Amino acid sequence: MSLIDEVCARMREAARVAKLDPDAFALLSKAERELDVEIPLHLDDGSLRMFEGYRVQWNDARGPFKGGLRYHPKVDMHEVEGLAALMMVKCAVVGIAFGGAKGGIRVDPKSLSKDELERLTRGLVRALGDDVGPTKDVPAPDVGTTAEMMDWFADEYGKMVGRLEPAVVTGKTIGHGGSEGRDVATGAGVFIVYDALKRHLAIDPETATVAVQGYGNVGREVARQFDHHGYKVIAVSDSHGGIHREEGLDLAALAAHKEATGSVRDFPGAQNITQQELLTLPCGILVPSALESQITASNAVYVEAKVVLEAANGPITAEADMLLAKDGVVVVPDVLANAGGVVVSGFEWTQNRENVRWSREEVLDRLAATMKTAAEDVWSYSQKHATTLRIAAYALALERVTAAEKERGRLR
């Protein structure tokens, strides 16, 4: 199944658990708007190339549409649909006043120069036009996009409307209205959620081992958080492959190695492994923080972790989810575990709208409080309804969005 099919299947099961009215499910299981735009780009050599861009606005009952912009050669409408639906669920799970959206451009950002990426980003803003705005749809960075690109986005939007509107996009650099703490928010949030649930998961910090697939900004921060709190990080991987050391990895030395070589591979004292080998290592906690559909029906039966924390969006397929549950593996779902990024994006939006700036400490304190509450809400729901954490998170979110739809009169 495609990502959107899997998300809708999970929503359907959650609707059953929540005893949702069929009209409510029909409304929440379809996007409100799908935008498919063509973006002309003059390359540095003077030639013209067309790029396809997407924006799916799923639901805005609880607030403006919210979701990242992904620059990746495999981006398509089905992927963006699934990610937009996930964003609706995610924002409702953590209780922030946003709806769900997602967007992107089908492009390999590494194939373009910085100037070309800037022109492409500004072209996307012009193509989206009035369909984005601080009270309508607020994008953010995602795979393949950066804080600097969000600066370009906000600047181009300001030119369009004739005034400075930093709240049109989040994830900007600090100097252009970005929030303190945004750089670590997603990874820190993953650990905060785990820490709030650990007493229910029978994990001993002194003996538990951690494996992290994906060593970008999120994966590095997740590993750092676990290491800082006394856990042994035994394996990590990036796009080039992975490494494993049963005695634990020296993360400071690893950071220097990756900076020098561009990869975690060939780290002294560690064994090189593949991405797939990392996913099936015996460990206490497995953290997929790369792309979608990494754990599937073909490898789920070999997963030996006790707990899987989904730091990536959609890293486990629906069929694999069922196999893991059958084997007693606890999965903390993406819509809860990796929501720290959108939570702090919401903080950035608030700061921009109110023309205030919060300290890093204040942001991270607010993040911790928000994520802990969400984790406890989802755990309680799962226990009350005897269901998995994923279905509990979806059901809780659908109940909250349904209540908002009733308040605005679209449901009875």
**How far apart, in whole angstroms, are the C-alpha atoms of residue 154 and residue 168?**
6
258-261: Cβ within 8 A, 24+ apart: 258/215
Cβ atoms of 294 and 275 within 8 Å: the answer is yes
- Catalytic residue chosen out of the listed positions 19, 30, 74, 102: 102
- Please report the beta strands in 231-385, taking only residues with DSSP state E, as ranges in sequence order: 232-238, 241-244, 271-273, 285-288, 307-309, 330-332
Residue 217 is labelled as binding a ligand: yes
**How far apart, in whole angstroms, are the C-alpha atoms of residue 271 and residue 10?**
38
Angle at 376 between CA 375 and CA 380, to 5 degrees: 120
**How far apart, in whole angstroms, are the C-alpha atoms of residue 179 and residue 165?**
15
Collapsed DSSP state (helix, strand, coil) of residue 321: helix
What is the number of other CB atoms lying within 10 angstroms of the CB of residue 111? 9
Return the closest-CA partner of residue 299 out of 332, 263, 266, 329. 329
**How far apart, in whole angstroms, are the C-alpha atoms of residue 330 and residue 243?**
24
Collapsed DSSP state (helix, strand, coil) of residue 408: coil
Q: Could you confirm whether 102 is annotated as catalytic?
A: yes
Collapsed DSSP state (helix, strand, coil) of residue 389: helix
Cβ atoms of 69 and 124 within 8 Å: the answer is yes
**How far apart, in whole angstroms, are the C-alpha atoms of residue 411 and residue 99?**
17
Collapsed DSSP state (helix, strand, coil) of residue 285: strand
Residue 66 is labelled as binding a ligand: yes
**How far apart, in whole angstroms, are the C-alpha atoms of residue 241 and residue 273?**
6
Contacts of 380 (CB under 8 A, 6+ apart): none
**How far apart, in whole angstroms, are the C-alpha atoms of residue 158 and residue 165?**
6
Residue 59 is labelled as binding a ligand: no
What is the number of other CB atoms lying within 10 angstroms of the CB of residue 152? 21
Single-letter residue type at 243: I
**How far apart, in whole angstroms, are the C-alpha atoms of residue 351 and residue 358?**
7
Contacts of 175 (CB under 8 A, 6+ apart): none
Angle at 374 between CA 369 and CA 376, to 5 degrees: 95
Which residues sit in the known binding site? 66, 90, 186, 217, 345
Which residues sit in the known binding site for substrate? 66, 90, 345
Which residues sit in the known binding site for NAD(+)? 186, 217
Give the catalytic positions in this structure: 102
